[in-house]
Amino acid sequence: MAFSILVCIKAVPDLASAGALTIAGPWIDETAIGWCMNHYDAYALEAALAIRDTADDVTVDALSAGPDRVRDTIRRAVAMGADTGIHLAVNALGRLAPTTVARSIARFAGTKKYDLILTGAMSEDEMHGITGPMIAAARDLPCAAAAVEIALDVPGRSLTATCEMEGGMTEIVRLPCPALVTVQTGRKVPRYPSLSNTLRSRRQTIEQVVPAETATPTPPVETLNVAFPRQTSSCQIIEGSMIEKADTLLQLFNDNGWLK
Amino acid sequence: MIPEKCPGTVLIVGETIDGCLSAGSRDLGKQARCMAGRFDGEPFGVLTGHGIEGVAQSWSNTSGMPVIVLDHAQCRYPNPSITASAVEALVEECSPLAVCFPHNMRACQAAATLAWRIKAPCITAVDSLLVESDKVVLERAVFGGKLSETVATGSRPMVLTIMPRLFSRSDSPDVPDHSPSAQTRLLADTDHRFIPQGMNRRAHTDQALERAQVVVAAGRGLKGPEYASLLDTAAGLFKHAAVGGSRGACDLGWIPHSLQIGETGRTVSPALYLACGISGAPQHLAGMRESQTVVAVNTDPKAAIFNLAHYAVIDDLTVFLPVLRERYDQMRDKGGAV
């Protein structure tokens, strides 16, 4: 029995290559940075590909919503092994609100009858953690958040998700499919693109879907500004040469009786 | 007892896990009166679980607010699906100013579901809140705590997930003398699609991290697994030390996952926390915030860890830790004090 999975991925500022973040207007300066696949979404994609590795007749679509620059991230998903790349060309200036993204993806998913939708547990940049559950709410799908393991029962059309909680606890939940699961980082490290998939990703057309414009029924949340965190503690910067700094710390450790 | 259409209600939604109040709910309860006070309203507690009247009464007493229990057999373990539906019904009954959850991923799920259905703004991981005349101004960490975002919304009700300790204890108004009440509402079977099967509590046979006087922890600044031995070398300076890591370092396989310190990992409160190459994401801080002295080594002077640290060394840990060890050895060779 065929089983289709949609993985929703986000292109986020690549902090590893960007060096220092700079602020421009109410958000960061996006002109001076590169973009990469949200870390959590890479784990969601890996979870989907791992399911496809172990079951027959599973297809994996990778989708990203946003302007043209997200197409590179979609291509990366195809290079990692997604069967199809889909660009949801949401025509908006600036940042997209989670509600806007959720609504667009939910509408698109409604036309495709996916058995399972996977998203990252949150995005590295905005850290809302709500886009996945909102897609589920919009499509009235059962949802599990922050899964570190997904076991699929294809004939039974259901899945068991192990969801991470605080203090090292996990909760095990069962959901009937279709369902949406948000994926936490950790257990299965996302695979590197294979050569054959990389070549395929260069040839293969990325399907472009232009969502219908809809008025947003949710009241807006306005970003006033971003700033480097205020210094809230009286943190003392230890100055001097490397040796002097080491000696200062050792003195501190010794005075407190912590040293051997 | 439900405050019908009372315009000043702030719903405080807690949960129980197998009959026990969750740590986040306990913390949120302590902040409830302060939180509601900011909105110029009154807190009203909502607690999900199964057979938890005693826990609810105790939460009500310590938080100084009336509590309604939403009881269902499928709420013995956290159930964001039923929680969202049952709180949605309460929102319709009492038109609150705000609905507040403790911040964690399943609360984000319940909050997002609720907000979507009632068409309310949803703001997660709130770590500061100010009510101005016509709008509420909130702060939350973005980019792993590297930046703090300030957002505003004028719409009520709003759905929020609240970081621990948004209000310090000294802010808290006194809990009223009279004992508020707790009542129970049995939930109907509405949704059979989210079925909790059980819980796993990872048994740490080794409590070395929790018991250590000194914790040496590393983040992504460790750069690679080949430097992990530097942590053991640094830990070797101290009488009672243990090694741990941030989620980033553990996800990269540099440090075992069982030694992850943070919201979803282990919680430590040593006399000294030596944070090496840790940027200070809010999720990590949640696991080490109670440390008595924090020394942070990081190349980025703007790293969020320095907001919590008492002492900062702006250096590359892979260079600094060997120097620290070398100076220690020289000091001991000379037979004594620094």
* Tens-digit pLDDT profile for residues A139-163: 999 999 999 999 999 889 999 999 9
Nearest to A133 among B108, B119, B195 (CB): B108
From residue B308, alpha-carbon distances to A162, B147, B279, B281 in Å are 32, 15, 11, 11
Q: How far is Cα B46 from Cα B1, in angstroms, rounded to an integer?
A: 12
CB contact under 8 A, A172 and B197: yes
The three-state secondary structure class of A257 is coil
Q: Is the pLDDT of residue B327 over 60?
A: yes
Report the pLDDT averaged over residues A155-183. 93
B223 CB neighbours in chain A (<8 A) are none
CB contact under 8 A, B201 and A168: yes
| Residues A89, A25 contacting (CB under 8 angstroms) | no
pLDDT at A94 (0 to 100): 74
pLDDT at B134 (0 to 100): 85
Helices (H), chain B: 23-38, 53-63, 80-94, 105-118, 208-211, 228-235, 247-251, 282-285, 317-333
How many residues are listed for chain B in this entry?
338
Q: Is the pLDDT of residue B5 over 60?
A: no
Closest CA to B115 of A255, A103, A147, A36: A103
CB contact under 8 A, B293 and A227: no
Q: Is A237 on the interface with B (CB under 8 A)?
A: yes
Q: Write down the mean pLDDT value for chain B.
A: 90
The answer to whether position A250 is within a domain reads: no
CB contact under 8 A, B237 and A260: yes
Q: How many CA atoms lie within 13 A of A213 on its CB side?
A: 2
pLDDT greater at residue B57 or residue B206 = B57
Top residue of A35, A39, A177, A221 to mutate, by most chain B CBs within 10 Å, is A221
pLDDT band at B4; cut points 50, 70, 90 = low
Spatial neighbors of A49 by CB under 8 A, at least 6 apart, are A60, A80, A81, A82, A191
The three-state secondary structure class of B97 is coil
The answer to whether position A255 is within a domain reads: no
Q: Which of A50-59, B161-170, B229-238 has the lowest mean pLDDT?
A: B161-170
The answer to whether position A120 is within a domain reads: yes
Q: How far is Cα A248 from Cα A240, in angstroms, rounded to an integer?
A: 9
CB contact under 8 A, B324 and A250: yes
CB contact under 8 A, A219 and B253: no
Nearest to A252 among B150, B311, B314 (CB): B311
A20 CB neighbours in chain B (<8 A) are 300, 302
Report the pLDDT averaged over residues B55-67. 94
H or E element, residue A71: helix A71-80
Which residues 32-91 of chain A have a CB within 8 Å of chain B?
A: none
Any idea which architecture B9-186 has in CATH?
A: 3-Layer(aba) Sandwich (3.40)
CB count within 10 Å of CB B75 equals: 24
Q: At what angle do helices A71-80 and A39-54 cross, to 10 degrees?
A: 30
Q: How far is Cα B29 from Cα B76, in angstroms, rounded to an integer?
A: 20
pLDDT greater at residue B293 or residue A19 = B293
Report the pLDDT averaged over residues A75-92. 94
pLDDT at B173 (0 to 100): 64
* Tens-digit pLDDT profile for residues B121-174: 999 999 999 998 889 999 999 998 889 999 999 998 999 999 987 776 556 666
CB contact under 8 A, A223 and B149: yes
Q: Is A199 on the interface with B (CB under 8 A)?
A: no
CB contact under 8 A, A256 and B327: no
B77: closest chain A residue by CA:
A171
Q: Is the pLDDT of residue B114 over 80?
A: yes
Domain with CATH 3.40.50.1220 in chain B: 208-333
pLDDT at A212 (0 to 100): 80
A99: closest chain B residue by CA:
B116
CB count within 10 Å of CB B221 equals: 23
Which residues on neighbouring strands pair with residue A84, listed in sequence order? Answer: A61
Using the CB atoms, write b or e for B35-63: b if 16+ within 10 Å.
Answer: bbbbbebbbbbbbbbbebeebbbbbbeeb
A236 CB neighbours in chain B (<8 A) are 310-312
CB contact under 8 A, A229 and B304: yes
CB contact under 8 A, B125 and A171: no
CB contact under 8 A, B116 and A138: yes
Report the pLDDT averaged over residues A163-168. 87
pLDDT at B291 (0 to 100): 94
Domain with CATH 3.40.50.620 in chain B: 9-186
Spatial neighbors of A25 by CB under 8 A, at least 6 apart, are none
Residue with tokens 């989210």: B194
A240: closest chain B residue by CA:
B313
| Residues B132, A134 contacting (CB under 8 angstroms) | no
CB contact under 8 A, B112 and A247: no
Q: Is the pLDDT of residue A107 over 60?
A: yes
Report the percentage of chain A scoring pLDDT > 70: 95
Q: Which of A113-127, A213-227, B34-48, B321-335 has the lowest mean pLDDT?
A: A213-227
pLDDT greater at residue A32 or residue B51 = B51
pLDDT at A148 (0 to 100): 94
pLDDT at A58 (0 to 100): 95
Alpha-carbon distance A149 to nearest alpha carbon in chain B (angstroms): 13
Q: How far is Cα B116 from Cα B65, in angstroms, rounded to an integer?
A: 27
Q: How far is Cα A207 from Cα A107, in angstroms, rounded to an integer?
A: 16
CB contact under 8 A, A170 and B200: yes
The answer to whether position A106 is within a domain reads: yes
pLDDT at A21 (0 to 100): 82
pLDDT at B172 (0 to 100): 60
pLDDT band at B337; cut points 50, 70, 90 = low
Note down the domain range covering A19: 3-209
The answer to whether position A244 is within a domain reads: no
A253 CB neighbours in chain B (<8 A) are 237-238, 272
CB contact under 8 A, B320 and A237: no
pLDDT band at B175; cut points 50, 70, 90 = low
CB count within 10 Å of CB B223 equals: 15
* Tens-digit pLDDT profile for residues B257-269: 889 999 888 999 9
Closest CA to B97 of B129, B125, B64, B139: B129
Q: Is A241 on the interface with B (CB under 8 A)?
A: no
CB contact under 8 A, B251 and A186: yes
Any idea which architecture B208-333 has in CATH?
A: 3-Layer(aba) Sandwich (3.40)
Strand ranges in A90-142 using DSSP code E only, listed in sequence order: 116-120
Domain of residue A179, CATH code: 3.40.50.620
| Residues B71, B184 contacting (CB under 8 angstroms) | yes
pLDDT band at A187; cut points 50, 70, 90 = confident
Domain count within chain A = 1
Q: Is A23 on the interface with B (CB under 8 A)?
A: yes
Q: Is A240 on the interface with B (CB under 8 A)?
A: no
B144 CB neighbours in chain A (<8 A) are 15, 124, 127
pLDDT band at B6; cut points 50, 70, 90 = low
* Tens-digit pLDDT profile for residues B238-251: 999 999 999 999 98
Q: Is the pLDDT of residue A115 over 70?
A: yes
Q: Is A28 on the interface with B (CB under 8 A)?
A: yes
Please give the model's pTM, rounded to 2 decimal places.
0.92
